[in-house]
Amino acid sequence: MKRVLLAWSSGKDCAWALHLLRQRAEVDVAALLTTFDEAENAVAMHGVPRALVEAQARAASLPLWPVDLPWPCPNDEYEARMAAACARARAENITAVAFGDLFLEDVRAYRERMLAPTGLEALFPLWGLDTDGLARAMISAGQRAIVTTIDPKRLPAGFCGREFDEEFLKDLPSGIDPCGENGEFHTFVHNATVFAEPVRFVKREAAERAGFLYTALKPL
């Protein structure tokens, strides 16, 4: 049995990665690994509060391993704190780290390079899947997510705070990846095949921060 640590951003792709990994008889997902912006106490690019990520972990019946990062975070500090998480994983007999990446070769190469000295294997259960088909598969399976962040240079402000559903996909402008893999948008999963129950939350009005538009989420 391969014990796996799953990189958990709070979004749709990592939730689907967990869905796929749990279908593999030889894999045991042991924990979720999430990086948090210390200043905001939230997932950095997704803007999701720690309390909601903790609720996701409970719904998935998995422990959450938080890695707190300063903002801004120098790359050497990021790598040092991630190395500590990898050392913990090795100590707990975890042999691999899984990621929800889809097709960005440079991101995959970086992850593999950083894991190489640790002895941990890098897994990419979604790698190479057609993103339009993947988006529709997630939706048809009952996975529910809200768009928490958009890049306003790529998408109109009205997309922020919308449900990630068929209507959202239909309305996407030409050239926007259906899964937002190029950073066009980020999501928060509030119900999924891997959750025992939905994560309850409320959303507030969107606000601009550091060049991105965020919809504020609060746990109920």
Q: Does the pLDDT at position 55 exceed 90?
A: yes
Residue 93 pLDDT greater than 90, yes or no: yes
Residue 160 to residue 157: CA distance in whole angstroms:
6
pLDDT band at 45 (very low <50, low <70, confident <90, very high): confident
Q: Where are the domains of the chain?
A: 2-123, 131-219
**What are 150's strand-pairing partners?**
185, 213
Give the span between the Cα atoms of 156 and 140, in whole angstroms: 25
Non-local CB neighbours of 212 within 8 Å, separated by 6+ positions: 45, 149, 150, 151, 152
Average pLDDT, the chain: 96
Q: What does the buried/exposed string (b/e) look like for 41-70 if buried means 16 or more CB atoms within 10 Å of the residue's CB?
A: ebbbbbbbbbebbbbbbebbebebbbeebe
pLDDT at 218: 94
CATH architecture of the domain formed by 2-123:
3-Layer(aba) Sandwich (3.40)
Q: 114-151, pLDDT tens digit by residue?
A: 999 999 999 999 999 999 999 999 999 999 999 999 99
Distance from C-alpha of 112 to C-alpha of 188, rounded to nearest angstrom: 26
pLDDT tens string 175-210: 999 999 999 999 999 999 999 999 999 999 889 988
Residue 126 CA to residue 100 CA, distance in Å, equals: 6
Map tokens 């890049």 to a residue: 151
Spatial separation of the C-alpha atoms in residues 10 and 104, rounded to whole Å: 19
